[in-house]
Structures are given as C-alpha cells and as structure tokens.
Amino acid sequence: MAHSEGGRTSPLPDVSTERTLQVVFEVELSDNCPCPLSNPCSQVENVHNQIDDGVCYAEVTVTNRDCDTGQVLHTTNRIEGSCLCLAFSNVECVPRIKRVDDGVMLIETYVSDRAVISELVEELKSVAERVNLRRLTRRKEGATESSPTSVDLSHLTAKQREAATMAVSRGYYQTPRQVSLEDLAASLDISKSALSQRLSAVESKLATAVFDP
C-alpha cells in the first residue's frame, strides 16, 4: 500500500486545526504529466515526497512483479503548473497516495470543510485527466472513529441510481477495482463518457447531501 507525505521546509506559524472530513480521490494523470507516478513501470508500494522551493523530492518504493524485493527510487522534479502535489498545496492539503495502478492513483486527504473539497476538485481537474470522488467520511471532533451519516437518495435520477447501483454491486468502488468503467458502460449499453458523467453526478449529489450544513 502506498503512502505519501508532502510539505514545505520553510518556517510556518505553529497553528494546529482539527480536520474532520476525510476525502479519497481517484486521479488519472495525463500522459504528458511530469510526475514520476503518471506511468510507473513497476508496482508502487510506498511514496514519500517533500516540496522545497519549487522542487518536489520523492522517494518511491516499487516492486517488480517477478520478485518480492522492493527498490527505492529517488526523483527530483521542478514543480510546474501541472504538478499534482502543487494542486493539494494550493488549498493547504496533504496528499497521501494509497495506491497507484497504471497511472491511476488513489489519494487520501483531510479537509476542514466541504468548501475546500470543491476548491481541491477544481485544482485537481486543472492538472489531471480524470478526477473521481471515491469516498467521503465525516469524523466527529475528538472521536477516534468515523461516524456514519444518513443520506437521502431521492434526488438521484433513475438512470443515475441504476449506474451507481451496478457500479457498487460489481466492485467498481472497491480497492483494487473489480470492474472497469468500459465494462460497466457496455453492460448498461451506453458510452464510457456517458457513464462517467452519470457517476460524477451521483458523487457530486451525494457529497452535497452529506456535507451540506
């Protein structure tokens, strides 16, 4: 399982705030993205990175499919406008890369309120080929475990509900993913882009239902 840590080494005020919203994104980087994780040649097991003066230093532990030993690769990249870490940094969030599979990353972060989620999504869309919201969890302040939240699904259309139900039942939202978007679209007899739009609409409506004050 991969993990990442990002940050700047320049001194900042000592301010601590509790962030009660856990967000997990699935992000697919574009082919021309300079990030070393956009097209890894081996299975990524661990990621640690740090941003310092416009440079991203990363140590990536990879494992070849034919052997069990891990190899640590060090990369140094000048941060550009298309940098994923910069997108998180712009909204003061720390990305934790949980998994990388064929250039698709599962990234966890914590935010203070739902307005930051919208800002982060816009930042990610500007640097990524595709951004999907995989999971939202609200944590009670001071609690060690997340608390469940009831959601009204009546605002979903019949087609959106059908797409979401099939996606969940066939393991689209599982880790690792059990079915591809293309296979789901074929089962529903719609295009891949149409299914992606339906699922994005479902995720957006559920996010609003869960986090709207």
Those residues with Cβ within 8 angstroms of residue 201's Cβ, 6 or more apart along the chain or in another chain:
160
| Token duo for residue 134 | 């995989």
Q: Which pLDDT tens digit goes with each residue over 130-156?
A: 887 777 787 655 554 555 555 556 677
25 and 130, same structural domain?
yes
- Residue 182 and residue 137 share a domain: no
| 3-state secondary structure labels for all residues of 62-118 | EECCCCCCEEEEEEEEECCCCCHHHHHHHCCCCCEEEEEECCEEEEEEEECCHHHHH
124 shares a domain with 101: yes
Percent of the chain with pLDDT over 70: 69
Whether 15 is in a domain gets the answer no
CA atoms within 13 A on the CB side of 102: 3
Please determine, for residue 14, whether its predicted confidence score (pLDDT) is greater than 70.
no
Highest mean pLDDT among 5-9, 49-53, 167-171, 189-193: 189-193
Task: Tell me: do 76 and 136 sit in the same domain.
Answer: yes
pLDDT at 9 over 50: no
The answer to whether the CB of 126 falls within 8 A of the CB of 112 is no
Read off the pLDDT of each residue in 14-20 and give the average, rounded to a whole number: 69
User: What global pTM score does this model have?
Assistant: 0.58
Three-state secondary-structure class, residue 209: helix
Domain extent at residue 177: 151-213
We report the CATH number of the domain holding residue 191 as 1.10.10
Residues 49, 108 share a domain: yes
pLDDT of residue 96: 85
- Please give the helix or strand (H or E) that residue 128 lies within, else none: strand 128-138
